[in-house]
Amino acid sequence: MRGPMDRRFGMRGPEDKFNERVQQLSGPTFDIPAVPMAEKKFNGRNRLYIAIAWRNCQIFLNKEKNFGFIKMDYHSNAEKAKRELDGTVLKSRNLKIRFAPNSATIKVKNLTPYVSNELLHYAFSVFGEIEKATVTVDERGKPTGEGIIDFTRKGSALHAIRKCAEGCYFLTGSLRPVIVESFEIVDDIDGYPDKNLPKKSPDYHKEREVGPRFASPVLLKTNTACGGSNCTDLHSQKEEALKKELELEKEKLEAQMEYAKYEHETEVLRDQLRARELDKERQKREWEMKERQVEEERLRTEEQMRRTQEEMESRILQQQEELRRRQQENNLFMQAHNLDSMLEQQEQAYDQPSGGYSHYDNGPMDPKSFMSSYERHNTRYEARDNTGPRAGSANLGNRGHWNY
């Protein structure tokens, strides 16, 4: 178990590593590499149990002296040692040799027809190193839905049993969880030899008094001898009927699980669709908001441009009015200047003696000379207005000035 301190600092425990290995197996299993079927040296099936048996003892309590285990390199050598040494006398005692039970072997049930040796080895390799993994078949070569797995260590087998009992472990896309249980291989090909029988037992002598025989006609008529055969047939029929019923129940359960899976996937799709609809509505609202913002920005820009244009037009109109006013002032100024020039000429004509010539008779004057003369005469006119030596000149001076 991982403590809160491990979770706080992100430390990974064995359970996290195991779940990560299981996640790596959850992909497609179309191309699984072949598993070598060669026998490994010193595997669990090559271990022999050796005991020294006494005639008057059937249970061995002294484990340190009365038995031992020997692991051979290959199974053929273990069989040879068992065949040659079983029953031999060692120090006036008989040796009893049997294949030792392998506690690292498990039996896997409820397999689908599409589980092979390679897939079984691949699926259970997350629990530990595997020596051998096989799917059992019937006499026609069809899988029986069961398999045998030999682990290298007993802890791996116990781990597989515990994890598959706590949760549902699926090997294929079908919702059929595997059932894992411990399995002891009965690998005694010698059977039950006559030397192992308790020959001093009274029952032994009672059973062995009569040899093999067929039933007599008298027994056949009474139908008592064949009663056991009929019971055996009835047992077989009921067993077959029970197997068929179990198969139907299993198919029914698988159909219910498939329907539940379909309902779950449908609900997930509905949730995703609702989430998509909500996201669509959210995006629509955001788009409408952005569209309103763009429209408001466009209206503000147009209003600003309109105001700017109106200001420019107003400024242009003001400039045009100012220009027109200045033109009018210039025109008035020129008219006043021409009038002053005419008055000055008339005044000069009055001031000069008769028969004299004015300097205007010599030709047109230069503009600068004209302006200087205008300023000089203007000053003189102002002086005349102030002093007023002559009444006629005062009246003429008043006529030559324009007030603006």
The tens digit of pLDDT for each residue in 145-195 reads: 999 999 988 899 999 999 999 988 989 888 888 999 998 776 656 677 777
Number of domains the chain contains: 1
Q: Sheet harboring 94-99: ordered strands across?
A: 67-71, 47-53, 94-99
pLDDT-derived band at 317 (thresholds 50, 70, 90) equals: very high
Calpha distance 88→92 (Å, rounded): 9
CATH number of the domain at 97, please: 3.30.70.330
Looking at the domain assignment, is residue 72 inside a domain? yes
Per-range mean pLDDT, top range of 12-21, 42-51, 393-402: 12-21
pLDDT at 307 (0 to 100)? 93
Q: What percent of the chain has pLDDT over 90?
A: 29
Residue in 256, 98, 294 with CA at minimum distance from that of residue 186: 98
Q: What is the mean pLDDT of residues 369-393?
A: 50
Instruction: Tell me whether residue 94 is in a domain.
Output: yes
111, part of any domain? yes
pLDDT bracket for residue 397 (50, 70, 90): very low
pLDDT above 80 for 251 = yes
Q: What is the pLDDT of residue 367?
A: 53
Is 249 a member of any domain?
no
Please report, to the nearest 10 degrees, the dihedral formed by the alpha carbons of residues 382, 384, 388, 393 taken in order: -110
Does 271 map to a domain?
no
> What is the reported pLDDT for 303?
94
187 vs 235, which has greater pLDDT?
235
Asked whether residue 238 is domain-assigned, the answer is no
pLDDT score at 37:
65
Q: 27 lies in a domain?
A: yes
- Whole-number pLDDT of residue 73: 75
Nearest to 50 by CA among 19, 21, 32, 72: 72
- Give the pTM: 0.50
22 assigned to some structural domain: yes
Query: Which among 245, 248, 240, 124 is positioned nearest to 178, based on CA atoms?
Result: 124
pLDDT > 80? residue 122 = yes
388 — pLDDT class (breaks 50, 70, 90): very low
How much is the pLDDT for 347?
83
Find the domain containing 145 and state its range. 14-191
